[in-house]
C-alpha cells in the first residue's frame, strides 16, 4: 500500500489529536507504577560497585580476599572476570569494556560485590584493597587535544571532526557589511533526574534476563550481546519505566556490571545506584566550547555562518558530533561551515542530554545571530523570519557522515522508482519551519508593543528592569541513517489489538501516543489497544526513545504494521464477506469492517466476528493476524525537523543580579499533534530544562582530580515551580509531515533548545549587555560592571 496516500483529514480522526489520559495515569497517581528502583525478584541478592578514587590509573593489585570472607558476601567481580570485549552505548555515548582494570575518571567502575544485604555489600567494598599505578590525567578538553596530552583511551583522545559546509566562506565574509565573532563556553549540565535507577539481572543457563529503567530496550540488548559476546537470542531485556531521564538511562555500564556479577554468583543480583552515583558516575552533558563568526549585510541577510565546536566526551564517550540542527535552523545563511569535534578527558563520561548540541552550540548561533541583528538594527523576530529555513528548502545537513557516502548511493540505487516516487524530495526540508511560529507567537505575545529595541528595557521599576526576548530551536526527528525501526501489531480473536513497539517510558507518553496511532489506523477505540514496549522477547528491534525519534519512526512503523494487518484481514474478508471487492476499498471504523465509501450499501462485520470466521475450522487460515511494516521507510535524513519558537519576559534586579522569568509563551511545530496534553507537557518540560541550563545549572569539577563538587541537589540548582510562570501558554502550528504517522514528527528536544536563547535575549534587552551562562546573580553583575567600564 502506498504510504503517501492517505493522511486522513483531521476532522475525521477519532483518537489522534485527542488529549486522552496517558495509559499509566492511574498507576502514577497512586504510586503503584514500578520503576527500576522498585523492582525485585524472589531470591535477589544485592550488589555494590567499587569506584575509583583516582582520575587515571591502572589497577596494579587488587585483593578481594578479606571482602570475600565477610559473612554474607556471595561473590566479587573484578576486571579479571570481565570479557575482553568493547561494547557500544547508544549514539556513541559509551565505548568500553565492562571492567578493564583501568580507572579513567574518579568514580569509574573497578569491581563489584554481591551480598545478602546492601549493608554487607557496602562493608565488603571497604575491605577490598586496590593499588593503582597512577597515570597522568587530563581534565581540560583543550589540553586533551594537544599531541602530548595524556591519552585517556587506547583509541586516542581525539575523534574525527564532523563538518557541514556549503558555499564559500571567503566570499561570505567579503559580501558582509559586518562580521562579528563570538566565543562561548558552557558548563556541563547534569541530568540531575528525579528517580535514580537500579538494575536486576538473572542468568538461567546461558540465557540472561535484565530488568532496569531504560529508554532503549533494543540497544541495551545489543549492548549486552556485545559486552559478553553472546547471541542476542539469549539476551532478554525488560525495560521498565524510568524517572526523569533526558537521555541518561539508555544502556549504561553499571547494567553490564550487574550482569557480570549475576553471572558469577548465579543468583539474581540487584544493584541500586545511590543519588550521588547517579549525579557523578554515569553520564553528563558534554562540556562544550563554540567559536564562531557570522557575516551580515545591512539589509539583514546573513552571508556567513562559520562555527567551530569542541566537546569533551569525558572518559568513555565516543561521539564525533553532537547532532546540531541549529545548522538547518539558520540555514538561510548563504555560506556556512560548522565543524564539531569530540575529545576525551579524565572526567566522567559525557553523552547526549536533551537537545544535545542545540542547547549548547544552538545558543551561540542564536546569540551571534542576535548580535548581527542588533548591529543592523533589525527586530529579532524579523531577522529570524528572514534567515531561517523554510519548508521545501534545501537542508544544510545533507551529507551523511563520510563513511556512509557509498552506502547511501548503493542504498538509493537498490530501490525501485516506485518506492522512491512518493518520498519527499531528498535533502529538502519535508515540512514545517519557524516561520508561522514566529508570526503567530509575536502576535500572541504582543511583541510589537513589548519590544522596545535592542538592549532597551520594556519597563523599569527601581532596580528591577524588565525585558523581552525571542528564541528559536530545532532538532531532528529521525537521525541520518541512525538505525532501524519496526513494530508488530496483533489482532486477537476478539478484535482487540496488541502492539509491540520498543520505546522508552520516561514521561514523554510514547506508550500512549503509539497506542493512539494503532487505534486510529486499526479503526478501533483506544481501550481496545494494549501495548508492550520494553520486553525484547516480544518487541522487534527498534531504535529506542532517543533523539526525539519515537513518534516519527516507531510511530511510522506502528502505523505500517497496522496497515499490514489490515491488508491480511481484508484479503480474506473480501472473499468471505464482500464478494471479492478490491481490498483497498475496505476499511475498519469503530471496530467494524466495512466498505469505506458506501458503508450502508454493503455488509458491516464487527472485527471479533471477522476474526472468528478467519480462525474457524472451515477456513483454517490463521490463528491470529500479525502485522509488521511492509514498506521501506524513507531514509530519515529526508528530511524532517522539529521547530520551537519561544518568547520570554524577564525581570533583572540590577543591584543583585537576580533574574526572574515573569512571562512565557512557547510555540511548537512538530507536525500533527498526537495528544495535546502530552505535547504541552513536553514543550514546557523542555523549556524548563533549557531555562535551567542558562540560569542556574552547571557542574563544578575539582581542579586537581576532576571529581564533581556539586554532587547533590543542594548545590546543583534545578528550577522549582516558583521559578517558572504557572500561566504559561503553549500553541501549536501543525505542519503535517508527508512521512510521519498522520503527519506527526518528533518534539522532545527543540523546546529545550529554544528556551536558552529566548531568556538570554530577554536579559540582554532588559539590561543592555550579554551575560555568560549560567546567568547566576554574580555573573550578571560582572557583565554589568564590564559594561559600565
Partner 1 sequence: MTYMLNVNGQDFEVEIKAHETLADVLREKLGLIGVKVSCGEGECGSCTILVDGIPCTACLMLGRQGVDHELTTVEGIGDYNNLHPIQQAFIDEQGFQCGFCTPGFIMTAKAFLDENPNPTEEEVSIAMSGNICRCGAYPWIVKSVLKAAETLRNEQR
Partner 2 sequence: MTRHFEYLRPESVEAAIDMKVEHGSRGRFWAGGTDMMLLWQRRAVDFDYCIDLTYIKALRFIEMDSSALRIGAMATLDDLDLRSDLNSALTVLGETARLMNTKQTRTIATVGGNLCHASPSADLTPPLIAMGTQVRLRGSEGERVIPLEEFHTGVNQTVLTDGEVVTEFLVPHVNEKLAASYNRIARTVVDIALVSSAVCLRLDDARTVQYAGVALGAVGPTAIRAIDAEKTLTGLPLEELANGSVQIAGEQASMAARAISDIRASQEFRTDMASVMTQRAISRCIEILEDI
Q: How far is CA 128 from CA 77, 111, 451, 521, 781, in A?
A: 11, 9, 63, 58, 49
How many binding residues for partner 1 (CB under 8 A)? 60
User: Which residue number, 589 or 719, has a Cβ lying nearer to partner 2?
Assistant: 719
Measured distance CA(240)–CA(24) in Å, rounded: 13
CB of 70 to partner 2, least distance (A): 10
CB of 702 to partner 2, least distance (A): 10
For residue 492, give the H/E element and its range: none
- Report the candidate in 409, 428, 311 with the shortest Cα–Cα distance to residue 361: 311
Q: Which does 686 bind (CB under 5 to 8 A by kind): partner 1, partner 2, none?
A: partner 1
Exactly one of 103, 315, 395, 776 binds partner 2 (CB under 8 A); that residue is 776
Classify burial at 440, counting beta carbons within 10 Å of its beta carbon; exposed 0-12, middle 13-18, buried 19 or more. middle
- Taking phi first (over 0 means left), then psi (-120 to 50 degrees means alpha), and beta for anything else, what does residue 580 get? left
Q: Which does 696 bind (CB under 5 to 8 A by kind): partner 2, partner 1, none?
A: partner 2
| 688-717 binders of partner 1 (CB under 8 A) | 688-689, 712-714
Cell of 242: 524510568
Measured distance CA(758)–CA(666) in Å, rounded: 10
Measured distance CA(27)–CA(245) in Å, rounded: 19
User: Which residue number, 164 or 688, has a Cβ lying nearer to partner 2?
Assistant: 688
Helix, strand and coil in the chain, % to nearest 5: 30, 25, 45
Q: How far is CA 51 from CA 54, 257, 277, 349, in A?
A: 9, 12, 10, 14
Answer yes or no: are the C-beta atoms of 733 and 437 closer than 8 Å. yes
Q: Is 31 one of the binding residues for partner 1 (CB under 8 A)?
A: yes
Q: Is 31 one of the binding residues for partner 2 (CB under 8 A)?
A: no
User: Which residue number, 397 or 708, has a Cβ lying nearer to partner 2?
Assistant: 708
Q: Which does 688 bind (CB under 5 to 8 A by kind): partner 2, partner 1, none?
A: partner 1
CB of 121 to partner 1, least distance (A): 15
SS3 category, 166? strand
Q: Which does 710 bind (CB under 5 to 8 A by kind): partner 2, partner 1, none?
A: partner 2
Contact pattern for partner 2 over residues 684 through 713, marking x by CB under 8 A: ------------x---x--------xx---
Exactly one of 15, 16, 23, 37 binds partner 1 (CB under 8 A); that residue is 37
Q: Which does 677 bind (CB under 5 to 8 A by kind): partner 2, partner 1, none?
A: partner 1
Return the DSSP state at 18.
-
User: Which residue number, 9 or 714, has a Cβ lying nearer to partner 1?
Assistant: 714
Q: Is 9 one of the binding residues for partner 2 (CB under 8 A)?
A: no
| Span near partner 1 by CB under 8 A; candidates 62-70, 151-159, 505-513, 626-634 | 505-513
What b/e readout covers 55-87, taking b as 16+ CB neighbours within 10 angstroms? bbbebeebebeebeeeeebbbbbbbebbbeebb
Q: Is 35 one of the binding residues for partner 1 (CB under 8 A)?
A: yes
Cβ neighbour number for residue 298 with a 10 Å cutoff: 12
Q: Is 507 one of the binding residues for partner 1 (CB under 8 A)?
A: yes
Q: Which does 777 bind (CB under 5 to 8 A by kind): partner 1, partner 2, none?
A: partner 2
Q: Is 681 one of the binding residues for partner 1 (CB under 8 A)?
A: yes
Cβ neighbour number for residue 758 with a 10 Å cutoff: 32
Q: Is 386 one of the binding residues for partner 2 (CB under 8 A)?
A: no
Cell of 655: 543591584
Classify burial at 413, counting beta carbons within 10 Å of its beta carbon; exposed 0-12, middle 13-18, buried 19 or more. exposed
CB of 70 to partner 1, least distance (A): 19
User: Which residue number, 86 or 681, has a Cβ lying nearer to partner 1?
Assistant: 681
User: Which residue number, 372 or 728, has a Cβ lying nearer to partner 1?
Assistant: 728
570 contact partners, CB below 8 Å, separation of at least 6: 583, 584, 586, 593
CB of 372 to partner 2, least distance (A): 32
Q: Is 120 one of the binding residues for partner 1 (CB under 8 A)?
A: no
Answer yes or no: are the C-beta atoms of 514 and 16 closer than 8 Å. no
| 208-247 binders of partner 1 (CB under 8 A) | 241-246
Exactly one of 469, 483, 671, 686 binds partner 1 (CB under 8 A); that residue is 686
How many binding residues for partner 2 (CB under 8 A)? 23
Question: Rg of the Cα trace of the chain?
Answer: 27
- Taking phi first (over 0 means left), then psi (-120 to 50 degrees means alpha), and beta for anything else, what does residue 134 get? beta
| Span near partner 2 by CB under 8 A; candidates 91-99, 119-127, 606-614, 663-671 | 119-127
User: Which residue number, 31 or 462, has a Cβ lying nearer to partner 1?
Assistant: 31
Exactly one of 30, 147, 720, 789 binds partner 2 (CB under 8 A); that residue is 720
CB of 782 to partner 2, least distance (A): 9
Q: Is 508 one of the binding residues for partner 1 (CB under 8 A)?
A: yes
Return the DSSP state at 687.
H
175 contact partners, CB below 8 Å, separation of at least 6: 295, 297, 303, 304, 334
Name the site residues for partner 2 (rule: CB under 8 A). Answer: 119, 123, 126, 655-656, 658, 696, 700, 709-710, 714-715, 717-723, 776-778, 781
Name the site residues for partner 1 (rule: CB under 8 A). Answer: 19, 21-22, 24-35, 37-38, 192-196, 241-246, 274-275, 505-509, 677-678, 680-682, 684-689, 712-714, 718-728
Amino acid at each position: 500500500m502506498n504510504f503517501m496516500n492517505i493522511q486522513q483529514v483531521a476532522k475525521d480522526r477519532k483518537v489522534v489529536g485527542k488529549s486522552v489520559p496517558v495509559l499509566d495515569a492511574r498507576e502514577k497517581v497512586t504510586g503503584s507504577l514500578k520503576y527500576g528502583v522498585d523492582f525485585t525478584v524472589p531470591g535477589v541478592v544485592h550488589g555494590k560497585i567499587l569506584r575509583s578514587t583516582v582520575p587515571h590509573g591502572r589497577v596494579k593489585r587488587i585483593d578481594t580476599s578479606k571482602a570475600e570472607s565477610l559473612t554474607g558476601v556471595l561473590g566479587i567481580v573484578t576486571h579479571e572476570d570481565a570479557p575482553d570485549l568493547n561494547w557500544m552505548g547508544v549514539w556513541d555515548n559509551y565505548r568500553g569494556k565492562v571492567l578493564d582494570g583501568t580507572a579513567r575518571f574518579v568514580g569509574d567502575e573497578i569491581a563489584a560485590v554481591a551480598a545478602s544485604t546492601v549493608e554487607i555489600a557496602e562493608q565488603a567494598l571497604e575491605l577490598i584493597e586496590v593499588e593503582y599505578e597512577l597515570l597522568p590525567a587530563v581534565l581540560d578538553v583543550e589540553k586533551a587535544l594537544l599531541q602530548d596530552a595524556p591519552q585517556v583511551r587506547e583509541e586516542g583522545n581525539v575523534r574525527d571532526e564532523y563538518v557541514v559546509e556549503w558555499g564559500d566562506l571567503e566570499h561570505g565574509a567579503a559580501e558582509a557589511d559586518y562580521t562579528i565573532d563570538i566565543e562561548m563556553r558552557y558548563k556541563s549540565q547534569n541530568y540531575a533526574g528525579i528517580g535514580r535507577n537500579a538494575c536486576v539481572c538473572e542468568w538461567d543457563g546461558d540465557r540472561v534476563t535484565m530488568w532496569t529503567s531504560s529508554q532503549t530496550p533494543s540497544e541495551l540488548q545489543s549492548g549486552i550481546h556485545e559486552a559478553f559476546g553472546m547471541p542476542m537470542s539469549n539476551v532478554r531485556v525488560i525495560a521498565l519505566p524510568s524517572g526523569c531521564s533526558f537521555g541518561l538511562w539508555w544502556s549504561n555500564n553499571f547494567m553490564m556490571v550487574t550482569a557480570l556479577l549475576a553471572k558469577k554468583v548465579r543468583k539474581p543480583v540487584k544493584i541500586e545506584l545511590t543519588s550521588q552515583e547517579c549525579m557523578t558516575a554515569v553520564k553528563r552533558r558534554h562540556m562544550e566550547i563554540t567559536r564562531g563568526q557570522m557575516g551580515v549585510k545591512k539589509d539583514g541577510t546573513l552571508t556567513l555562518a562559520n562555527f567551530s565546536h569542541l566537546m569533551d566526551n569525558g572518559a568513555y564517550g565516543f561521539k564525533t558530533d553532537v547532532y546540531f540542527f541549529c545548522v538547518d535552523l539558520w540555514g538561510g545563511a548563504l555560506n556556512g561551515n560548522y565543524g564539531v569535534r569530540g575529545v576525551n578527558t579524565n572526567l566522567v563520561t559525557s553523552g547526549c542530554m536533551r537537545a544535545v548540541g542545540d542547547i549548547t552550540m544552538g545558543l551561540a548561533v542564536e546569540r551571534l545571530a542576535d548580535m548581527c541583528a542588533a548591529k543592523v538594527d533589525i527586530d529579532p523576530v524579523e531577522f529570524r523570519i528572514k534567515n531561517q529555513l523554510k519548508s521545501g528548502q534545501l537542508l544544510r545537513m545533507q551529507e551523511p557522515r563520510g563513511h556512509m557516502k557509498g552506502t547511501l548511493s548503493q542504498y538509493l540505487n537498490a530501490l525501485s522508482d516506485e518506492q522512491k516516487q512518493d518520498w519527499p524530495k531528498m535533502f529538502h526540508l519535508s515540512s514545517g519551519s519557524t516561520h508561522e511560529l514566529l508570526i503567530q507567537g509575536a502576535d500572541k505575545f504582543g511583541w510589537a508593543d513589548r519590544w522596545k529595541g535592542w538592549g532597551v528595557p520594556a519597563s523599569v521599576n527601581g532596580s528591577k528592569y524588565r525585558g523581552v526576548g525571542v528564541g528559536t530551536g530545532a532538532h531532528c526527528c529521525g537521525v541520518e541513517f541512525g538505525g532501524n525501526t519496526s513494530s508488530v501489531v496483533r489482532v486477537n480473536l476478539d478484535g482487540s489489538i496488541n502492539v509491540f513497539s520498543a520505546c522508552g517510558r520516561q514521561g514523554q507518553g510514547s506508550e500512549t501516543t503509539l497506542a493512539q496511532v494503532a487505534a486510529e489506523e486499526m479503526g478501533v477505540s483506544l481501550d481496545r489497544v494494549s501495548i508492550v514496549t520494553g520486553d525484547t522477547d516480544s518487541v522487534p528491534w527498534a531504535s529506542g526513545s532517543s533523539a526525539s525519534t519515537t513518534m516519527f519512526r516507531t510511530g511510522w512503523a506502528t502505523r505500517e504494521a497496522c496497515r499490514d494487518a489490515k491488508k491480511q484481514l481484508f484479503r480474506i474478508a473480501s472473499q468471505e464477506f464482500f464478494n471479492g471487492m478490491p481490498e483497498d476499498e475496505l476499511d475498519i471504523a469503530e471496530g467494524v469492517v466495512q466498505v469505506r465509501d458506501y458503508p450502508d450499501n454493503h455488509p458491516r462485520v464487527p472485527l471479533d466476528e471477522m476474526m472468528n470466521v478467519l480462525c474457524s475450522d472451515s477456513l483454517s487460515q490463521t490463528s491470529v493476524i500479525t502485522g509488521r511494516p511492509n514498506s521501506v521507510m524513507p531514509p530519515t535524513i529526508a528530511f524532517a525537523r522539529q521547530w520551537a519558537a519561544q518568547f520570554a519576559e524577564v525581570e533583572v534586579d540590577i543591584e543583585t543580579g537576580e533574574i526572574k522569568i515573569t512571562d512565557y509563551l512557547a510555540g511548537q511545530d512538530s507536525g500533527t499533534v498526537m495528544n495535546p496534553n502530552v505535547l504541552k507537557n513536553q514543550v514546557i518540560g523542555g523549556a524548563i530544562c533549557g531555562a535551567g541550563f542558562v540560569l542556574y545549572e552547571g557542574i563544578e569539577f575539582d581542579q586537581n582530580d576532576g571529581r564533581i563538587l556539586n554532587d547533590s541537589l543542594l548545590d546543583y540548582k534545578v528550577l522549582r515551580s516558583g521559578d517558572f510562570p504557572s500561566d504559561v501558554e503553549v500553541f501549536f502550528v501543525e505542519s503535517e509531515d508527508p512521512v510521519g504517522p498522520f503527519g506527526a514528527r518528533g518534539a522532545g528536544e527543540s523546546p529545550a533548545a529554544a528556551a536558552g536563547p529566548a531568556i538570554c535575549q530577554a536579559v540582554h534587552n532588559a539590561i543592555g549587555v550579554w551575560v555568560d551562562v549560567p546567568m547566576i546573580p554574580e555573573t550578571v553583575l560582572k557583565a554589568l560592571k564590564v559594561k559600565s567600564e
